[in-house]
Structure 1
Amino acid sequence: MSFAQLSQKTHYAKSSWERWVNGKQFPPRDAVESLAGLCGTPSAQLLDLWDRAQAEREAGIGPGAGAEEAEGAEGASDSGGASDAGAASDSSDASAAGAASDPGGAPDDAAAPETGGTPPRRRRSRSLWIAAVLGLVLVVGGALAAYFTLGFVGETSSPSVKVAGPQTGCKGTGCEDKDPKKMNCGADAVTVRTGSIPKDLVIELRYSRACQAAWGRISFAEIGATVVVNNSDGAAQADVVHYDRDVYSPLIAAPDDGSVWVCAALPKDKARSCTGRFIPSQED
C-alpha cells in the first residue's frame, strides 16, 4: 500500500505518513491509533509504546526531545529529518554507529557523554523508538496482506455475491458534527474534489458512500489555517489547525441529490479558496 493510499484511508497527508514510518518525525497518537483501526489490529500495544516514548520526549531524554520546532518547520523537505539511529553515541561506538546513521547524524551526537558507553536511559529510549517504528511497519505489513487478500477474493468471487459495505457509526444527517474516524467513515472514503491556495496548502473533499457524509481536509497548512465543509442544505462544519500541518473537519450530510464542497483559508486571510461541488447521485 502506497503512502497515497494510506492517506486516503486515514485523515493524514501522505507526506506525514512518509516522515512517521521512516522515523523522520515523531507521529501523533491519533495517527498510530487510526492505522491500527484501519488494519483491524488492537491498538493497546502500539499506544503503550507511543505513551512511553512521548513521556521520555517530554522529560528530554528520548529521541527527538526538544526538536518540536524543527519538526514543525520540516515541511516537505526530507533533509532535516531525525536519524533512524535515534539516541546519541559516544566516541567509543561512533565507528559502529556511523554505518547505520544518516551522514549528518542526529543533533544529540555532538553532546554524547564520553563515559565509555551509551547511558542506560538513552539505550532504553532508542529501543522504544525502534520498537515503535517496527510496530508501525508491522501494522502496515498487515494492511498490505489484507489488501491483497481481499483483492484476490474479490476477483475470484461469484458476480452474484453482494459484498456488504463497512460497518459505520452513523448515516446522513445523523453524522452531523461527528468525527469521521470514530464513525469509521474513512473505511470506504475517497477524495472526490481537490483544491489549493498559495504556499502549497492542499484542500480535499472526502466522501463516504457508506456514511452518506463528507468532510474537509487540508494538508501542508500552518497553525491557524481553517477548513470548512458545506452542503446545499445550508449546513457547515469547520476546524482549525492547532498543531502540525494537517487537520480535518467534522462530518456533514451529503444527500444524493444535494451538493457538498470544501473551502479553506490561511490565518488572517479573508480570501478563501474552495473546491468544486460534488453531487453524489451524478458521480457515485
Structure 2
Amino acid sequence: MDRAGSVKDLASELLALKKASGSSFVQLSEKTHYAKSSWERWVNGKQFPPRDAVERLALLCGTDPAPLLALWAEEDARRAAPEPEAGAEAGAGVEPEGRAESWAAVFRRRRVLWASVVLAVLLVAGAVSYTALSGSGEPPAAPRPQPVVTVAGPATGCTLTHCEGRDPKKMNCGADAVTVRTGSIPKDLVIELRYSRACRAAWGRISFAQVGATVVVNNSDGAAQADVVHFDRDVYTPLIAAPDDGSVWVCAALPKNGPRSCTGRFIPSEEKAQQP
C-alpha cells in the first residue's frame, strides 16, 4: 500500500467515527481544542493527523483507540522512512542524478587543480623575475593563506511540513530553538512560542499551568497542534511548519472553559529570532 493509500485508510476511519459521533467540525474543535480546518483536512485525507488528535476522537466516541493508533503508527513509520532514490527507478540509458552530480564534482575539482597549478607557475615566475631584478638570492615570502571556517547548523530530523505532529526534542529542533513570542494568563501561567530556524518549524509551550490547561500552536496555513497538561505543571505541543513568509502563534486556555490568551504572531522573514 502506498503512502497516500494508508493516509486515506486512516482518514476513512476518522470519518466513520465523526459520523458516528454526530459532531460537526465546529463541535470537534470545541471538544478537542484542534482547529475546525485541521479536522476537515485530517478527516478528508488531505493531511496526516497528530497521534493525540486520533486518540482524542476515539475516546470522544467511546471507542477503543488501540486499532486506530496502530494504523496511525504504521503510517507514521512510512512517513519517517526515506523516499526511494530517483536513480533506482530510472530506465536503462538514463544516468542517475547522483552520478551526474559526481561527474560535475570531479570536473570542478579538476578545474580547481589546474587553476592551482597555473597559479603556482605564475608565483614561481614572479619570484624568479623579482630575484633577477633585485639581485637578491632570496625570493619574497608568499602570503600565507587564511583558513576558511564553515559553521554548520544543527543536524535535524525534519523541516517544514515534514515536522508536522512530531516531537521537537526527537527531531533535534530544540538545538537552535529560541522563544520568539510570550504571553500569560494571570496570575501564573506562562505561554511561549518556540521557533527553530534549522527545522523551519515552531511549537507552543506552557509553564506553571494547572492539570487540564491546554496549549495550541497555529500557523497561517490553517494547521494546528495541541496538547493538554495531564500531570506536573508544563507541557509542549508537537511541531508545526513555520515557513519564512507565513506566521505562527500560540494560544492557551485554563481548564473548564477558563480564561484564554494568545501570543502575538511571528513571521520568520520579517524579523530575526532573538534569544529572550
- What is the TM-score with the length of structure 2 in the denominator? 0.45
Greater Cα radius of gyration, structure 1 or 2: 2
- What is the TM-score with the length of structure 1 in the denominator? 0.43
